[in-house]
Amino acid sequence: MNVYVARQPIFNQRKQLVAYELLFRDGTANYVPDLDGDTMTSTVMSNTFFDIGMDTLLGGKRAFINFTQNLLIQRLPLLMPRETTVVEILEDVDPRPELIEACREMCRKGYTIALDDFVYTPELKPLVELAKIIKFDLRISSIKEIQGYINALPPDCQPILLAEKVETHEEFAACLDIGCTLFQGYFFCKPEIVEGRSLPKSSLNLMRIMAAINAEDFDFDHLEELIAPDVTIAYKLMRYINSAFFTRANRITSVQQALVYLGQKEIRRFISMIVMTNLAKGKPSELVRAACIRAKFCELLAGIAPGRMDGRELFTL
């Protein structure tokens, strides 16, 4: 099966390539289909890391990846290597305490935070203080408005300024004048679609694995029995655990070693990304959204139902 990721180059003021923004695509047509943000980001991560390969896609450059509020709170960016990952926070996030704490944890662990399509409001100050990069969209804000947002930044904040959707030389020059040092847009290059191959997946086995990891203190031996025969998941797991993201003296050669090394929290993140990526393919985004709402409803019922019930098991149900 073919998998796809679009990449748009990001250049510095000397028009030298420094990074790529990675974008969701589900075919060779260069447009974004109607899917929810969680599914698109999870698919980009899976296709990049497990199928196409970061070296092939990035060539040693950094990757800018959009993350929704939900995925940030789940700490999904922590699955990616901090040296090459720029965590883009979308403009529609609600900067509530749990989101701010998740972003602080990522900063402490060495991840670079970028604010996408930035329009300054006082509520965003905690995120502004964490961000190393701020992106301005020239199709949303004029040069004059962007200059106003820059002037409104706290005096002790000196982020790198990135102008996106730059389409003419005049826009490029104007952004240079107001202090932008990174640029992307059609003036430089349109997104390029990179194609790879993915192994076929068994939806039934994915659901069994998902149910197993949602059990409290799940059984590692049972999880190994489910993953080991599944060539697709076992391959992705071994590729992930033996990547440069982890530094070990010896190469991990078995599924059991990989599971023990990752631990329960990281296994749940890894499997959740794989499941979200594959079970939602070919389904309308509204169907996925409705399923998630019903799952959360069942999880909440566990807290008020008579008797002892596990909310995570009801969520999976």
Q: Are residues 44 and 164 in the same domain?
A: yes
Which among 141, 166, 195 is the end of a domain?
195
Supply the pTM of this predicted model: 0.64
Q: How many domains does the chain have?
A: 2
List 134's β-bridge partners, or say none: 115, 161
Q: Are residues 125 and 227 in the same domain?
A: no
Domain residue limits at 171: 2-195
The per-residue pLDDT for 118 is 93
Per DSSP, 48 falls in state: I
Q: Are residues 210 and 190 in the same domain?
A: no
- Over the stretch 4-45, which tens digit does the pLDDT of each residue have? 788 899 999 988 889 999 888 765 555 555 566 777 887 787
- CB-based contact 92:70 (threshold 8 Å): no
Cα 63 to Cα 252: distance, rounded to the nearest angstrom: 26
Cα 21 to Cα 10: distance, rounded to the nearest angstrom: 7
Q: Are residues 97 and 12 in the same domain?
A: yes
Query: Residue 121 maps to which CATH number?
Result: 3.20.20.450
Cβ-Cβ contacts under 8 Å for 280 (sequence gap 6 or more): 35, 39, 288
Q: Are residues 210 and 177 in the same domain?
A: no
Cα 95 to Cα 72: distance, rounded to the nearest angstrom: 11
Per DSSP, 51 falls in state: I
Q: Are residues 34 and 179 in the same domain?
A: yes
Is residue 150 classed as helix, strand or coil in its secondary structure?
Answer: helix
The average confidence (pLDDT) of the chain is 82
Q: Are residues 140 and 190 in the same domain?
A: yes
Is residue 142 classed as helix, strand or coil in its secondary structure?
Answer: coil
The per-residue pLDDT for 114 is 97
Q: Are residues 190 and 215 in the same domain?
A: no
Tokens 């202090």 — which residue?
Answer: 179
Which among 195, 222, 257 is the end of a domain?
195
Which among 195, 225, 241 is the end of a domain?
195
The per-residue pLDDT for 130 is 95
Q: Are residues 55 and 75 in the same domain?
A: yes
Tokens 């990035």 — which residue?
Answer: 58
The per-residue pLDDT for 213 is 77
Instruction: Let me know if 70 is exposed, middle or buried by CB neighbors in 10 A (0-12, 13-18, 19+).
Output: middle
The per-residue pLDDT for 280 is 59
- Over the stretch 235-281, which tens digit does the pLDDT of each residue have? 888 888 887 666 666 788 888 888 888 888 788 878 777 766 666 55
The per-residue pLDDT for 249 is 67
Q: HSE of 231 in the Cβ direction (CA atoms, 13 Å)? A: 4
Q: Are residues 176 and 211 in the same domain?
A: no
Ranges of residues in the chain whose predicted pLDDT is under 70: 1, 26-36, 49-51, 195-204, 216, 244-249, 275-289, 292, 312, 316
Q: Are residues 189 and 210 in the same domain?
A: no
